[in-house]
Structure 1
């Protein structure tokens, strides 16, 4: 029996000695680094164990009654588990919810129903799977419920580093999140890939320019593909021997090609240079194009006048002529002409 929150509770010894120190060192939030705040009171007797077993049977019944009150209050939450304290002085409910839930009215209803202190704890889906326990796709008990002391986050990059399928149905656990076991071998893959060149690089080998298509870290093999489409498989040891002459400055060996430098060299051109192909693709002969000058402007230039001013004058004259044509009446009247009769004058006035 151990000291609990405002009472006593039944605990079980999990590990002793050196194993207990190892487990305490791996717990989250630095557990085991400081002295415990609570202590063990006494050894549990047969009566204490029987009372604890009875409470375990009542936990499911209590959870169902609380779920009915949740539906009655219309709360968007899911009650996952319920846990009685051994002395029945506190009842803890664990729930999951997507958003923040105001459960103050629910706490009052549950306190009136069970006549004890009520505590509601929101947990995540991975903690829910840990509490409910079960069998994974490997056929064994959930790692989180059996031995895993800390639920570390697992992202999609862990699956990419191991070249696993990115289908969520194949790499997700019962909780709907990525499986915790994906992290077990991740460090091995990261350290093993450091011995291999990066995939997608182009190398100049004794066989010519080849692109590294794939690597096999378990059999230590590399797959290259030439420009003609031929592929060959080389062991890592053979590749390192081919690369040694290039490193030592001797003829032969493998040399890596910088694709970024090739792209920069291809784009190094004069932007003002006209390609000769444009002379053949243009509609008219580019070399034969000449400026066409109006005769009036040519006379002004020959007389020492300013061609730009003459051109602007012609443009303004053409705009005035266009405006005069637009001022004609819609009924055919013409302004600026002498009126030949009453009808003409009225039509011109209306225009």
Structure 2
């Protein structure tokens, strides 16, 4: 983390700044640098390097000379030299590692032209700085409305007020040159402050605004990436990625910077490979490359006119076929070099994943019971026909009220009692 308040407490647990996810000094996880020399003492007679790296809003970092020999630590808020007035920033790096950062950005560590640090920020400085920061969102919204009204082909992506609120920097992106002379006049009249316009690229805009990439992590350009190298479409071709602009483009609309991360590994792996467009010449015909597995060194070729039949060949065999074609002694066919796949016997071991239930339990429909119609209360005439005596009983038992038949002895006893 970037501020000293995030250090460990007495029990070894991180203290944190208690801001519920937002850093109180606005420096956590924003191009932060881990000072691995912070616990090491300098040799006797060696003075500490008096240049300090200070970060302002978002990813803007500059170097300032500590001429007053102030005791500064990472996370301290300081007042620095600006033109005009002074600016408020946060210390992100001190000590010998600042030399490494300056050399990385092609700056002279011992230059006399570096601006200086005035003092540690007082409470009044911090209050003025905080009020200026609170105005930035409303000013950005109003500035965009003015730019749209003037029909300027530009996009104002961010606004940054100086620490003493004497100047406002407007960052914008545009595809071509923009005449914003009238725009500056209206900005100065509207916001009553000094105006400075800075054009940035689309990658710098994404770095300032931040966001979440398709990988699920924060953007590299807004967390640790400091230089923007050109990314070409060939980087995706070497890594055999689909040339889909929706998948290869980042938040900035340009090709993702991460396409360059593993490019050197792929280039080292394919330096001995034949070109993808080269055809293998055999007596049976010419074969075209369909697919390459770079790290397993496998090739898949298909004859012209029979593109559905792929033949797998190793790298050594491909080089042998190419060398034979150069000596005008082509091989018979690619089938002679086809890699034989080992047969793997798979034992059938099936388990009843459904449990004890049958898979055909829903095949037979259930018999639907017909409901008997209840007799109507209206009087009806009896139909002529054979009449049954009231003592006669049907031999058919009722399905719903069927019970076990009594034994023969019990039947006799019941008839005797009835008599």
Same-fold call, TM cutoff 0.5: yes
Q: Report the 3-state secondary structure (helix = DSSP H, G, I; strand = E; otherwise coil) of the residue aligned with 1:257.
A: helix
Q: Quick one: distance in 2 between partners of 1:225 and 1:71?
A: 57
Classify 1:232/1:24 alpha carbon distance in 2 versus 1 (closer, same or farther; 3 Å).
Answer: farther
Deviation at 1:33, TM superposition (A): 6.1
- Tell me, yes or no, if structure 1 residue 75 matches structure 2 residue 155: no
Alignment of 1:243-282 (within 5 A): 243=320, 255-258=323-326
Cross-structure match for 1:31: 107
Q: Distance in 1 between matches of 2:192 and 2:279?
A: 74
- Partner in structure 1 of residue 260 of structure 2: 183
Secondary structure of the 2:246 match is helix
Alpha carbons 2:287, 2:302 under 8 Å: kept: yes
Q: Structure 2: which 5+ residue stretches go unaligned? A: 1-78, 331-419
Task: Indicate yes or no: 2:84 matched with 1:84.
Answer: no
> Of the candidates 75, 92, 96, which is equivalent to residue 14 of structure 1?
92
d(CA) in 2 for partners of 1:32, 1:141 = 32
Which secondary structure state, in structure 2, belongs to the residue aligned with residue 14 of structure 1? strand
* 1:199-278 alignment runs, 5 A limit: 199-202=276-279, 212-225=289-302, 231-236=310-315, 239=317, 243=320, 255-258=323-326
Within 1, Cα distance between the matches of 2:263 and 2:205? 25
Offset at 1:131?
1.4
- Give the match's secondary structure for 1:75: coil
Q: CA deviation at 1:85?
A: 0.2
Give the drift of 1:235: 4.1
Tell me the CA shift for residue 106 of structure 1.
Answer: 1.6
CA contact (8 A) 1:204 1:254 kept: yes
Q: Report the CA distance shift for 1:188/1:125 in structure 2 as closer, same or farther (over 3 A).
A: same
Contact 1:3 1:40 in 2 (8 A): yes
For 1:254 and 1:190, the matched residues in 2 are separated by: 21
1:61 aligns with 2:129: no
1:158 matches 2:235: yes
Change (3 A) 1:48 1:94: same
1:5 to 62, 83, 88: 83
Number of the residue aligned with 2:200: 123
RMSD: 3.4
What is the CA-CA distance between 1:203 and the residue it aligns to?
5.0
> Which protein has greater RCO, CA pairs closer than 8 Å, 6+ apart?
2
The residue that corresponds to 2:188 in the other structure is 111
Secondary structure (helix, strand or coil) at the match of 1:255 reads: helix
- State the partner residue of 2:119: 42
Q: Could you say if the C-alpha distance between residues 61 and 163 of structure 1 is closer, same or farther in structure 2, counting changes exceeding 3 Å?
A: same
Unaligned runs of 5+ in 1: 244-252, 263-351
**What is the count of residue pairs matched by the alignment?**
248
Deviation at 1:158, TM superposition (A): 1.7
Residues 131-188 of structure 1 show CA distances to partners (whole Å, capped at 9, x for unaligned) of 1111111111111111111122212222122211111111001121111111111122
In 2, Cα distance between the equivalents of 1:6 and 1:19? 29
Deviation at 1:34, TM superposition (A): 6.0
Change (3 A) 1:51 1:141: farther
Q: Matches of 2:223 and 2:127 in 1, distance apart? A: 24
